[in-house]
Amino acid sequence: MATSKLSFDEARLALRKFRDHPTRNSEEVVELWQTVLQKNETRLGEEVWAIYEQVFVALLDCGDMNHSRELLEKLYQRFPSSQRVRKLNALYKEAAGHFEEALDIYDKLLEVDATNPVYRKRKIAVLLGQQKRVEAIEELIEYLKTFLNDKEAWLQLSSLYLAELDYAKAAHCMEEVILSQPYEADYLVRYADIKYTQGGLENIEIAKQYFIQASRLNPSSLRAAYGALLACEWLAQKQTGQKKKDYVAVGTWAAERIVEIYTEE
């Protein structure tokens, strides 16, 4: 990645964009930090603390414990009694494999601030880090009873159920995610994927409707168009007469959409 050719401002904007729309691109963040921004730390002003936090997590993700520890010490110096920095310390412990100590820190933080959802979510993440998926699912369900509208938690629970091959519950979780963000085509596609996997006439009919809606919301989504095509193909085989003609018509529309997407590129 040619990050060394980016200017200071471009690198700063890139990091800001990654903070606003978080993607797990830790290598890129670390490279931006090390090649461009670290040399001009003073120019960053007060933003430097947010960047430290962001780069800290990215360094942990890349397995670089030494540099991340340096950043953590700097953050401790600046914010000595901050809960947020203690959470970062617990994160460091998790990455180092010291899960019991991390859980200790989270419990102490919850004593201070019992209603903060962040620490509860991290405790669930600790269970995930220890490969205890079933316990993590149970804890996450408990968490979601209190924090009903946490879209991220529903999304995570859906992925966990998919890993357990429990498609019905994963579909229910995706429904909750769609409730909170109904215009995001990718969530509709994932829900339709799960329904299609479950199979059967009703589920594939639902999958077809969601694929078509996703394709309307995002016309350049190949997965939505292809999913619609497959669903219509399956449904057209099972029906006869007028319904079959409808499915064939919709399937043809989906196929045309796919061709358009490929010719646009």
Partner 1 sequence: MSGGSWSTLVRSLCFIGLISLIHCAYSAAQHRSYLRLTEQEFTRLPADILLQTIVSLVLICYSAAHVAGDFLPIRADTQVRTKSWDTVGNCPSFYTFDHRAKSLSPYFAADLRPQ
- Binding region for partner 1 (CB under 8 A): 21-26, 57, 60-66, 69, 72-73, 76, 80, 86, 89, 92-98, 101, 118, 121-122, 124-125, 128-131, 152-153, 155-156, 159, 182-187, 190, 216, 218, 220-221
Only one residue has tokens 């921004």, namely 37
Q: Taking the complex as a whole, how short is the minimal distance between the CB of residue 97 and partner 1, in angstroms?
A: 7
> Of 152, 184, 157, nearest to 173 (Cα)?
157
Separation of alpha carbons 218 and 257, rounded Å: 11
Which residue lies nearer to partner 1 by CB, 90 or 204?
90
Q: Taking the complex as a whole, how short is the minimal distance between the CB of residue 244 and partner 1, in angstroms?
A: 28
Q: Taking the complex as a whole, how short is the minimal distance between the CB of residue 203 and partner 1, in angstroms?
A: 21
Cα torsion for 233, 213, 22, 144, to the nearest 10°? -100
| Exposure b/e, 48-65, CB count within 10 A at least 16 = b | bbebbbbbbbbbbbeebe
| Exposure b/e, 171-210, CB count within 10 A at least 16 = b | bbbbebbbeeeeebbebbbbbbbbbbebeeeebbebbbbb
> Of 131, 110, 130, 105, nearest to 120 (Cα)?
110
Which residue lies nearer to partner 1 by CB, 248 or 261?
261
Which residue lies nearer to partner 1 by CB, 117 or 200?
117
Q: Taking the complex as a whole, how short is the minimal distance between the CB of residue 84 and partner 1, in angstroms?
A: 13
How many C-alpha atoms does 30 have within 13 Å on its Cβ side? 17
Which residue lies nearer to partner 1 by CB, 47 or 184?
184
Which residue lies nearer to partner 1 by CB, 39 or 216?
216
Which residue lies nearer to partner 1 by CB, 125 or 255?
125
- At position 214, the amino acid (one-letter code) is A
Only one residue has tokens 């219509």, namely 232
**How far from each other are the two terminal CA atoms of the chain, in whole angstroms?**
23
Q: Taking the complex as a whole, how short is the minimal distance between the CB of residue 139 and partner 1, in angstroms?
A: 11
Q: Taking the complex as a whole, how short is the minimal distance between the CB of residue 168 and partner 1, in angstroms?
A: 20
Separation of alpha carbons 129 and 140, rounded Å: 14
Which residue lies nearer to partner 1 by CB, 11 or 136?
136
Q: Taking the complex as a whole, how short is the minimal distance between the CB of residue 240 and partner 1, in angstroms?
A: 33
